């Protein structure tokens, strides 16, 4: 439905909610100009994202993979949080029982002030040592290729969940607990086709939460949710937050 027809109800539910969970995907960052890095946006030197974001690709040619991630970091470094990111951060300030689950790796939620969050696919501004496994922030643009761990001097890799890898157990545990205990679940800018995030709306709904979708288009979630608001995240999400 158009935002106006369900907006009032969602605002009421959000204002009254004790526990709030927000799930975000690429749609919220698209309004900041962040490319998807998939499909046509993902083409780089004739490589697809699906060919480079794998453990096998990194093992075979870590320099190539790091050059691609450096290119991505250079693009994302120019982007800033938009009004939707800022509204989600305001929801956290207004609701003590709040959790944000994001599929995005761009770090824009943190830049907007979000602190109670699971970045289930990782963060492009974090690096992980392939030796000692230490995870640290690294915002170098350009990043040194090949980057080495300052502690053990092993090769660093992007702290990203690649194709073929499992999500962190702690992120899954924390997200599941939040979904099962919330009153309101907002699903913003995600198509709902990539698991396990594709199942999060069902978890919240089955636990009794009021579930709201905000997206430009109809998604597999649309028939499941209580209210579907169609529009750009930067336009719709700020309208939900009471100043």
Residues serving a catalytic function are: 121
Q: Quick check: 188 and 237 in contact, CB under 8 A?
A: yes
Identify which of 195, 172, 174, 197 has the alpha carbon closest to the alpha carbon of residue 187.
Answer: 197
* Helix (H), strand (E) at residue 50: helix 49-52
User: Structure tokens of 151?
Assistant: 């502690």
Identify which of 229, 219, 226 has the alpha carbon closest to the alpha carbon of residue 197.
Answer: 219
Please give the Cα distance from 41 to 143 (Å, whole number).
22
CA angle 28, 49, 75 (to 5 degrees): 55
Lookup result for tokens 């453990």: 55
């Amino acid at each position: 439905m158009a935002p106006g027809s369900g907006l009032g109800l969602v605002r009421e539910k959000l204002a009254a909610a004790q526990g709030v969970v927000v799930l975000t995907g690429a749609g919220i960052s698209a309004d900041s100009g962040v490319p998807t890095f998939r499909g046509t946006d993902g083409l780089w030197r004739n490589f697809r994202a699906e060919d480079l974001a794998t453990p096998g690709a990194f093992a075979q040619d870590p320099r190539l993979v790091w050059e691609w991630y450096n290119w991505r970091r250079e693009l994302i470094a120019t982007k800033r949080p938009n009004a939707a990111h800022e509204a989600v951060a305001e929801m956290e300030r207004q609701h003590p029982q709040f959790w944000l689950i994001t599929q995005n790796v761009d770090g824009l939620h943190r830049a907007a002030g979000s602190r109670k969050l699971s970045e289930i696919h990782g963060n492009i501004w974090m690096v992980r040592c392939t030796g000692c496994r230490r995870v640290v922030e690294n915002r170098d643009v350009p990043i040194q290729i090949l980057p080495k761990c300052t502690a053990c001097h092993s090769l660093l890799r992007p702290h990203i969940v690649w194709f073929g890898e499992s999500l962190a157990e702690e992120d899954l545990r924390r997200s599941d607990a939040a979904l099962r205990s919330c009153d309101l679940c907002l699903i913003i800018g995600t198509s709902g086709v990539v698991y396990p995030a594709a199942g999060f709306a069902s978890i919240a709904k089955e636990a009794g939460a009021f579930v709201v979708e905000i997206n430009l288009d109809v998604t597999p979630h649309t028939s499941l949710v209580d209210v579907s608001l169609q529009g750009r995240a930067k336009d719709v999400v700020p309208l939900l937050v009471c100043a």
